[in-house]
Amino acid sequence: MEHLQMKNPIVEIDGDEMTRILWHMIKEELILPFVDLKTEYYDLGIRNRDETDDQVTIDAGNAIKRLKVGVKCATITPNEKRMAEYDLKRLWKSPNATIRSILDGTVFRTPILIDRIKPAVRTWQKPITIARHAFGDIYKGVELRIPGKGKAELVYTAEDGSVTSETINEFERRGIVQGTYNLDQSIESFAHACFNYALTVQQDLWFSTKDTISKTYDGTFRAIFEKVYKDHYQNEFEKKGINYFYTLIDDAIARVIRSKGGFIWACKNYDGDVMSDMVSTAFGSLAMMTSVLVSPEGNFEYEAAHGTVTQHYYKYLKGEETSTNPTATIFAWTGALTKRGELDNLPGLVAFAKSLETAVIDVLESGICTKDLGTLYEGVPPRVVSSEEFIREIRAKVEAVQPN
Ligand code: NAP
Ligand code: MG
């Protein structure tokens, strides 16, 4: 079989635990037999991050800036327990947070649907993509416990020393206060990423906040989105026949539940955190959720939305058979191959990625799946297989459709 050729490399970011095992199985069985794969490899396994004082993560982020396309395996974000488990020098930061801050990106999460698993919401027919603003608000907030009688104020001291202040509350008794912020620049980047993504996938973009209550804070989000839309995207949206639609967050939720799906829902940081778990669970499984980080300059990092599946890894280490679902990780690879193919004008590579995605869906539709999906099928119960067998079934389907 002739191997497909590539022009430019993809940034390949290896990771940890069970997903690292799957990563190599996917490459060996589903990609290397068909593609003369060009990658620039970065090992973000926890041991190598520790050995390089996390420099490897920064290098990987910068490589995506240079090469434009990356694919990332799930990685451990260490806590105290992990620090002891892997004898780490420090509690290294989340690699995703480091890469996100280098790329200044927005994360888009989309479920992979199959006919035999029905979403919990009966009207949903097409995937709903959540675009989460991944900066500021309560994630960078400060809080105070108010012990008793006294006044709490919001105070801004400008560089020239002038002061603007607002009373938050004259406390008569114990209570709480919170201060949060965001930056126009970050909201603008978020807006650009969302409008660009909507154009790429040719879907409507929804955006929701609570600007009736939060007139200045959420009102600024709304105003920036409106301005970015009018100044840069309205013409192209009209040409492509897609819409930008703003509504209040509570109205958006009601509409999402009644919708058929098939659009992008841009959410503020907290709303995106909560709504992406609601949407992914209602569509089926975390193992069927893809994720792509898109920067305002048009750099793309593809990954699975789930973590390193630690409990399965411990079983694997004991020599037990595991049935971990590789679907989202395979789709991370196909996403990166497709984008590379589009940027480098390689239709063969794009077609191969599509055929690999189709093969995964066909195997799942034929009633062969991993354990996480076993109880979700409608009708005839599926055959639950190991990760290896699942990947072998996919390979057989890919081989059947490759041109000789
Ligand atoms: P997780 O790895 O996503 O796993 C949580 C549970 O979800 C698993 O125990 C498993 O349930 C199920 N699951 C997730 N992915 C699956 C798959 N592909 N196939 C089958 N089942 C799957 O989350 P976690 O246990 O909270 O985190 C583990 C490690 O991953 C942590 O060190 C965390 O820092 C890291 N993490 C990394 C990323 C990232 O790199 N993007 C994201 C999240 C977490 P059952 O055990 O019930 O089968
Ligand atoms: Mg969450």
pLDDT category of residue 1 using cuts at 50, 70 and 90:
low
Does the C-beta of 125 come closer than 6 Å to ligand 1? Answer: no
Separation CA 199–CA 195 (nearest Å): 6
Q: How far is the CA of 74 from the centre of ligand 1 (A)?
A: 9
* 283 contacts: CB under 8 Å, gap ≥ 6: 111, 113, 119, 120, 124, 127, 128, 289
Give me the pLDDT at residue 365, please: 95
In this structure, the strands spanning 69-72 and 300-304 are parallel
Ligand 1 contacts CB of residue 74 (under 6 A): yes
What is the residue extent of each domain of the chain? 1-114+299-404, 118-136+182-283, 142-179
pLDDT, tens digit (0-9, with 9 covering 90-100), for 243-287: 999 999 999 999 999 999 999 999 999 999 889 888 988 988 889
| Closest CA relative to residue 36, chosen from 6, 12, 71 | 6
Q: What local confidence, expressed as pLDDT, does residue 105 receive? A: 77
How much is the pTM?
0.89
Residues 6 or more apart from 191 whose CB is under 8 A from it? 224, 225, 228, 229
Q: Is the pLDDT of residue 404 over 60?
A: no
Cβ–ligand 1 contact at 308 (below 6 Å) = yes
Give residue-wise pLDDT tens across range 322-346.
999 999 999 999 999 999 999 999 9
DSSP class of residue 204? Answer: -
pLDDT-wise least confident of 28-42, 130-144, 222-236: 130-144
Per-residue pLDDT tens over the stretch 8-26: 999 999 999 999 999 999 9
pLDDT at residue 313 is higher than 70:
yes
Q: Which fold has domain 1-114+299-404?
A: Isopropylmalate Dehydrogenase (3.40.718)
